[in-house]
Structure 1
Amino acid sequence: MIRLLSTAALLALLAGCGDGQPFDFEDPADAPADGGDAGGRDSGGDAEDGDDADDGFGGDERLLPGTADPDPDRSITRFEAETEDGGGFVRRVTLLSGARLEVDNLAFDGTEPYRSDYRGPSTLNGYAVFQSAAEVETGGSEPIDQLDYRAIYGESINTVRVDGERLPRTRFAVVRTGDFSNFGFGGFLYERNGGVEIPARGQAAFRGDYAGIRVFDTISRHEFTTGDIEVLVDFDDFNASDGVRGTLSNRRAFDEDGLEIETNTSGVRRTDLSDRAILDLPTVRFVLTDAASTPNGEIVGQLNNLVVVDGKAEPYEAGEYFGVLSGDLETGGEVTGILVFESEDPRLEDIRVQETGGFTAYRD
């Protein structure tokens, strides 16, 4: 079920942690020296002399750029690595009062913060949705048209005090635009404030809401998606890493104005009575491996699914998940993260689509 809050109610909830608190990380090489209290927001120590800063994430090349030398007792921030298509350019977002979001490092996205009262949905599945301004006045005869960037912002219902400041325990942001002839410029970030207590034994289920943005190559267009996220963790095994499973299910899609798109979630491709192809959004599954988690409470891995076409199962969507566990997982806690995956849209000939979405899930 899609959960829609009014913009006022949602932003009031988000604003409970204070106005203008950014989460950002410009470059791993710029990480401040380690000198804060345990659980502080600083990002760990500088890279050793002679070390490549890109390898400074706890020695795990699977992890995204961000916090150097991560620790289970400290805050962690991650952001999308730069891609050939333009991903990874967003390194800083700041939630402001009045349903506004400040986004840094994207050209032609207006000169003012993004707002939630332009056209299109202002919330998706309990997360705030923001849009950049359509044009910029320059004092000349004509305003300059801007690119249509959309941002999804979510933060935990729980807060934690870090270095005397009350912050959401976790939060994420996704920024994309459909105004390029490829996937275009954008980015995502997610973070944990404070640390994590990981049990030595047992298993846990985390369930929550997901919202995403779909952009296309070779055509200018974007869509929104929602779904239910489930993340299961086995703290007993594997011996080298906690086992992680997960699903994205009950998926729905919406056009840029927020109107629902007809979808097929059965996993068996079909058309309507006019032989028009219908968008496939079957359940996406995390691939179970023996190296999906780190001692710092981070999770990373592959995800995929299949769709049956003419009686034959074929690979359909594939990509990656990234996330971070937070809080005392013995009795509660949560996980927040990002899914990024691609597929060939069945409604369009030889057109690929990239979906990027964020989630927060709480221990069941």
Structure 2
Amino acid sequence: MMDRVLVAVLALGLLAGCGDGNPLSGSDDDTDTGTDPGTDTGTTDPIDSDGRLPPGTESPTPSSRIVRYEPQDEEAGTGMIRSPAYDRENDTFFVDNLAFDGNAPYSRDNQVGSLGPFAVYENAATVLDPVTNETIGQFTHKAIYAVSQSGQTELAIVRTGAYVDYGFGGFVYQRNGGVTLPETGQAIYRGSYAGLKDYSGAGGLDYVTGDATVAIDFEDFNDGSGVSGVISNRRYYDLDGTDVTETYLTALEEQYETDLSAVPDLVFKVGPGVADSNGEMTGELQSIAAGEVFESGNFYAILSDGADGDKASEVVGVIVVESELPGVSGVTQRETGGFLVSR
């Protein structure tokens, strides 16, 4: 594994990983974490994928549970989390395979406990050496977790700002049942968006919130051409919960020499090959500032029936986009966000 440059110096020590568990199991009504989704019968480790979909469920069908993970790339630090799990009784979140993130479950963040319906968790700040009883400082990691009110879809994102390059982390999103795809008509889905923004060329971590809208033309679904979407009304917050959107907009306006009333929307590119017959979707998205492409990246999503048999009633998805950090030379930013939308 490639060595990575740390923002802060850490005393050497050993660390146990944070817990085991099934992908995203558990629920919490206060944070839109509805019902227990059950147990995944497939692998929870990344696999080689023969398509553009992220690794995960090897042989998906319209009626099956589907779990997708961020593709693993050790040099980029992506796809490193394993078997995340939510403990509803204790309101804690388990993450495995991230070094120096404590040896206990992540607890609800004591400064920013939620981003709308998305719950926020943080790792322990210190660990004790069991032999010397010496305190070992840990790297700050944040986890965002959300599940739809039906319990049929959920997601988790984990990132850290403890490295000068992008830190180690990952995302998982899943459908806990099946989907019945309509053959005609169109549908629009609306809901919330939240995520984490980390940096390459500088340490640090920020939160983002927003609104998500996805529209599907089912008559063209077999050709994969009938999906559009937008992430709008984005706001940025530091780890203390301070809204830093206006500072960000000022830097963006100076970079593009234009006036902006809001952070540019992220818009899905509509085209063939976006969706498949299992209800999975993946494609590109971007934002535009002053007529130029500002952010670009990919979206990944799954369509699901509701808990009461409502056909094709909700969508879970994750987006990852990158861009230059406005006002700071030589620094790029990566925004990893998730959305839960329903009809």
Quote the offset at 1:142 in angstroms: 2.9
Q: Distance in 2 between matches of 1:245 and 1:14?
A: 25
Distance 1:11 1:149, change over 3 A: farther
SS of the residue corresponding to residue 253 of structure 2 reads coil
Q: 2:69 aligns with which of 66, 79, 85?
A: 79
- Partner Cα separation in structure 2 for residue 131 and residue 24 of structure 1: 28
Pair 1:228-2:246 in alignment: no
Query: How many Å apart are 1:347 and its aligned residue?
Result: 2.9
**Residues 229/24 of structure 1: CA separation in 2 closer, same or farther (3 Å cut):** farther
* 2:270 pairs with one of 269, 278, 288: 288
Matches within 5 A, 1:324-343: 324-327=302-305, 333-343=313-323
Decide whether aligned partners of structure 1 residues 182 and 290 sit closer, same or farther in structure 2, where only a CA change above 3 A counts. Answer: same
Residue-pair matches, total = 310
Q: In the alignment, is residue 259 of structure 1 matched against residue 242 of structure 2?
A: yes
1:270-309 matched pairs, under 5 angstroms:
270-271=253-254, 281-308=263-290
TM-score by length of 2: 0.82
Confirm or deny that 1:317 pairs with 2:295. Answer: yes
Cα deviation per residue 1:269-294 (whole Å; 9 max; x = unaligned)?
Answer: 4259xx9x999721000011111101
Distance 1:278 1:244, change over 3 A: closer
User: Which residue of 147, 150, 164 maps to 2:142?
Assistant: 150
Gaps of 5+ in 1: 1-8, 30-53, 159-167
Alignment of 1:13-162 (within 5 A): 16-18=34-36, 25-27=43-45, 54-55=48-49, 61-83=51-73, 84-96=75-87, 97-118=89-110, 120-139=111-130, 140=132, 142-158=134-150
Please show how residues 207-226 of structure 1 align to structure 2 within 5 Å. Answer: 207-226=190-209
Change (3 A) 1:214 1:318: same
What is the CA deviation profile of residues 250-285 of structure 1, one whole-angstrom value per residue up to 9, with x for unaligned ones?
Answer: 11000011111133898994259xx9x999721000
Q: Is the 8 A contact 2:34 2:149 kept in 1?
A: no
Equivalent residue of 2:58, what SS? Answer: coil
Contact 1:24/1:92, CA 8 A, preserved across alignment: no
Q: Give the Å deviation of 1:241.
A: 1.9
- In the alignment, which residue of structure 2 is the partner of 1:358? 338
1:136 offset after TM fit, Å? Answer: 0.3
Paired-residue identity, %:
37
User: Judging changes above 3 Å, is the alpha-carbon distance between structure 1 residues 221 and 28 closer, same or farther for their aligned structure 2 residues?
Assistant: closer
> 2: distance between equivalents of 1:251 and 1:330?
30
Q: Which moved more, 1:141-150 or 1:255-264?
A: 255-264
- What's the CA shift for 1:220? 1.2
Deviations 1:113-138 (A, max 9, x none): 001143x3010021100001111011
Secondary structure in structure 2 of the residue aligned to 1:179: coil
Indicate the residue corresponding to 1:40 in structure 2.
Answer: none
Contact 2:232–2:264 (Cα < 8 Å) also in 1: yes
Closer, same or farther in 2 for the Cα pair 1:21/1:296, shift >3 Å?
closer
* Superposition deviation, residue 229 in structure 1: 0.3
Q: Secondary structure at the match of 2:60?
A: coil
Distance 1:232 1:267 in 2: 32
Q: CA offset at residue 23 of structure 1? A: 9.9
Contact residue 34 and residue 147 of structure 2 kept, 8 A: no
Consecutive unaligned residues in structure 2, runs of 5 or more: 1-26
Please report the RMSD computed on the Cα atoms of aligned residues, expressed in angstroms: 3.0
Q: Structure 1 residue 237: deviation in Å? A: 2.0
